[in-house]
A and B are shown apart, each in its own frame.
Chain A
Amino acid sequence: MTLSSTTNSYAETTHFQRSLKRLSQEVLRMGALVERSFRLSHQALFARDLEVAQQIKPLDKQIDRYYRQIERDCATLMTLQRPVAQDLRLLSAFMHLVRDLERIGDYAEDLTELAVKLFPYPPHSCLGEIEAMSNQAQMMLASSLVALAELDAKAGQTVKVMDDTVDLAYDRVYNTLALTRDFQGVVEPILLLGLTIRHLERMADHATNIGQRVSYIVTGQR
């Protein structure tokens, strides 16, 4: 079963089915946009490419627009069409899921701002590990979005396991940063890196939420 096949399983497509299909498309489109934002923030942080800071702002505005519109459409469909069973779960999951996506987009924008502030300082030794964290979080987001497209109930579990890796990396980098001794110069780079790993960890959490909401759509269990 896939996202679009749930919406065209009936012989005759009703107005509701069509609206639902359009809505799923909007959610996927928003997902693609958030993924792009995340990629740009990664580029800003690790390739030190500050041009992307200019590109990410309009992206974030667009993401916000999608978020508001999808939420409104979901509410309209719920009140006017009174969906049941899986359709209802799909709609309520969409409402939560776009919130998660929107948060990831916001964090991505914040990350580029951190990248701009970090730019003047020499690269820190744990940047490699943070990059791995960012890659892992992007992978989780991609997996969750594929799971959503495929309506794969098992993906929630897989993404959860991946989240544990990010959490572990977070603890490790946190300890490295916190226990730095005899530190020369200003503490700003350390602070910024602390915020960066915190943001990445939150992004991974939101990606996990998306994966679990997909499981909820299919099974009704949370």
Chain B
Amino acid sequence: MDFLILIVGLGIGLGISLVFHYRQRQQLTKILEIAANGPAENASFSVVSRLRREIARSRTIQTELELESEVLQQALAIAPIGYLRVDAENQLMTCNPVARQLLCIDRWHPNRLRLLLELVRSYELDRTIEKARQSQQVQIEDWIFETTPLAPISGNHHTLPLRATCIPLPQAQVGVFLEDRSAITELTQARDRAFSDIMHELRTPLTSISLVAEMLQSRLSGQEKSWVERLSQETNRLIDLIQNCLEISRLQKNPKQYLKYEEIDIKSFLLGIWQTLEPLAKQKEIQLNYVGVDDFSFWGDNSRLSQVFLNIFDNSIKYSPVQGEIRIEVQHQENRPLSDTDPLPWQTSENSWIIIDVIDSGCGFCVEDLPHVFERLYRGDPSRTRQTLTENPDPGFSNHNSSGLGLAIAQQIIYAHGGTISAQNHPTTQGAWLNIRLPNIIYS
């Protein structure tokens, strides 16, 4: 009897311990799965040794990652551009020495979270960070960072053109790269100044050369006369070129001041310009096709805008095939809020726009040239580079074209009006397609 009880007792004990053992094994397997991130391999080894291996493996990975992150942090610390990171509540988490120097952050402590705005009172930076977080897209902002000194003795105004590139990071964090743009801004200004100075210096002697040539013309005859005529024509072409360059510089400096606003009826305005070019168009039997609003007027500088469209039409005629068609589409768009990314020199609050598309059926722009067509003196196709007056019957319209300044001037004039201009190739006609957007403002 006693023996039976012993056996039963042993059996129960064994059973319980087996159950426990099984459970523990189950749990260890689970832990192993968690550690190994999925079902573990090498099932032939015991669970404990597999677990030990797994722990050792993850420790190695951890050390590697720690090393990696340390290297990255060191690289960021000595990077030549500024870097900072803010969390979801706009608290500054890290910033490298360059960022601290650029943004004059002198009260930051790595172990204390503080709002970025407490340390850097820059509305532009704050707004760009917020924009990157909302849109979850990289945002780039150029602005001039200014700080006011806190006491009359210590220091002066700190003014620095900066570029911030804000990158959305996980957990609503935002990383910001900061670049100092003072060197490039200065260089651009110096280049523009030198350019316009040279142009000024060239204009005076050229004017006298042209006058002398004109005087000579009346005193010479035969072969010599035609040479001097040629000289005079080329000199005038140079003077025109210089005049245009100077105009671009002036428009860049004070865009608004050079505009004389008046009311313009869009359809008759565009058709009027076409009429001046009709002789050229007739030679090639080119048709104009106007599509869009009738009886719509807007405010703009008549003579400057005429210059823009003369240039564009002239180009279109020049590059259109015989019996081609040039299409002008004019639309009026209301209440389309201006996106912040439009490259406007300043922001207009207007929501009403006039959109003018000029599409020709010529060969279009070279795809590689498209980003540069609005640059000064840029020439795309080398075969078009030299077009002297002899090839062009009407010098009145060819001067802009042969100088490579036409589209640059057009862009400056459109910018001065607060609008935009862009160039591309039309998908159906394969010809050049210029899209012009002008704000419809009532100018008083």
Among A133-189, those with CB < 8 Å from B are 136, 138-139, 141-143, 145-146, 149-150, 158
**Would you call the interface of chain A mostly helix, strand, loop, or mixed?**
helix
177-215 of chain B: CB within 8 A of chain A: none
Kindly state whether residue A32 has any CB partner on chain B within 8 Å: yes
- Among A103-153, those with CB < 8 Å from B are 136, 138-139, 141-143, 145-146, 149-150
B119 at the interface (CB under 8 A from A): yes
Write the chain A residue with the least CB distance to B119: A149
From A2, A5, A32, A136, B152 is in contact (CB under 8 Å) with A136
A32 and B115 contact, CB distance less than 8 A: no
> In the complex, A36→B117 CA distance in Å?
14
Nearest A residue (CB) for B346: A54
Contact bitstring B79-92, A, C-beta under 8 A = 1, else 0: 00000000001110
Cβ–Cβ contact B346 & A32, under 8 A: no
Bound-state CA distance A31–B117 (Å) is: 9
Q: Does A35 contact B (CB under 8 A)?
A: yes
Q: In the docked arrangement, what's the CA distance between A35 and B124, Å? A: 12
Q: Flag the segment in A20-28, A74-82, A89-97 that touches B.
A: A20-28
**Complex contacts, B118 vs chain A, CB 8 Å:** 2-4, 28, 149-150
- Are B346 and A35 neighbours in the complex by a CB distance under 8 Å? no
Q: Does the CB pair B90–A25 fall under 8 Å?
A: yes
Q: CB distance A145 to B347 under 8 Å? A: no
Within 8 A of A (CB), among B87-126: 89-91, 107, 112-115, 117-119, 121-123, 126
Q: How far is the CA of A31 from the CA of B113 in the complex (A)?
A: 20
Please indicate the chain A residues that have their CB under 8 angstroms from the CB of B122 in the complex: 32
Q: Tell me, yes or no, whether A55 is within 8 Å of chain B by CB.
A: yes
CB distance from A59 to the nearest CB of B (A): 9
**B175 shortest CB reach to chain A, Å:** 19
Which A residues lie within 8 Å of B115 (CB)?
Answer: 3-4, 21, 24-25, 28, 149
- Give the chain B neighbours of A4 by CB distance below 8 A: 91, 113-115, 118
Known contacts A4-B115, A39-B146, A139-B150; 14 further A-B pairs (Cβ under 8 A): A2-B118, A4-B113, A4-B118, A5-B112, A21-B89, A21-B115, A25-B90, A28-B117, A29-B117, A29-B126, A32-B122, A142-B147, A149-B118, A150-B107
Residues of A within 8 A of B (CB): 2-5, 8, 18, 21-22, 24-25, 28-29, 31-33, 35-36, 39, 51, 54-55, 58, 136, 138-139, 141-143, 145-146, 149-150, 158
For the complex, is B151 an interface residue (Cβ under 8 Å from A)? Answer: yes
- By Cβ-Cβ distance, the 8 closest A-B pairs, closest first, are A149-B118, A142-B148, A28-B117, A32-B123, A32-B121, A4-B115, A138-B148, A143-B150
A36 contacts across to B, CB distance below 8 A: 123
CB neighbours of B147 from chain A (8 A): 142
B121 interface neighbour in A28, A51, A136, Cβ under 8 Å: A28
Shortest Cβ distance from residue B214 to the other chain A in the assembled complex, whole angstroms:
41
Report which of B114, B121, B126, B256 forms a contact with A2, defined as CB distance below 8 A.
B114
Judging by beta carbons under 8 Å apart, are A55 and B346 in contact? yes
Inter-chain contact B107/A58, CB cutoff 8 Å? no
A135-B147 Cα distance, complex, nearest whole Å? 12
Which residues in A have their C-beta under 8 angstroms from that of B151?
Answer: 139, 143, 158
Q: How far is the CA of A127 from the CA of B181 in the complex (A)?
A: 32
Residues of A within 8 A of B349 (CB): 58
* Nearest residue, chain A, Cβ from B126: A29
Residues on A with beta carbons closer than 8 Å to the beta carbon of B150: 139, 142-143, 146
- When the two chains form the complex, which single residue of A2, A29, A142, A158 contacts B149, counting CB atoms closer than 8 Å? A142
Q: What sequence of 0s and 1s flags, for each residue 369-386 of chain B, a beta carbon within 8 Å of any chain A beta carbon?
A: 000000000000000000
Question: Smallest Cβ distance from A185 to chain B, in angstroms?
Answer: 25
Q: Can you offer 28 A-B residue contacts whose CB atoms are under 8 A?
A: A2-B112, A2-B118, A3-B115, A4-B91, A4-B113, A5-B112, A5-B114, A24-B115, A25-B89, A28-B118, A32-B123, A33-B123, A35-B121, A35-B148, A36-B123, A39-B146, A139-B152, A142-B121, A142-B148, A142-B149, A142-B150, A143-B151, A146-B150, A149-B117, A149-B118, A150-B107, A150-B118, A158-B151
Q: Does A141 contact B148, Cβ atoms closer than 8 Å?
A: yes
Shortest C-beta distance, A98 to chain B (Å), equals 15
Complex Cα spacing A139 to B119, Å: 16
In the complex, what distance in Å separates the CA atom of A25 from the CA atom of B120?
12
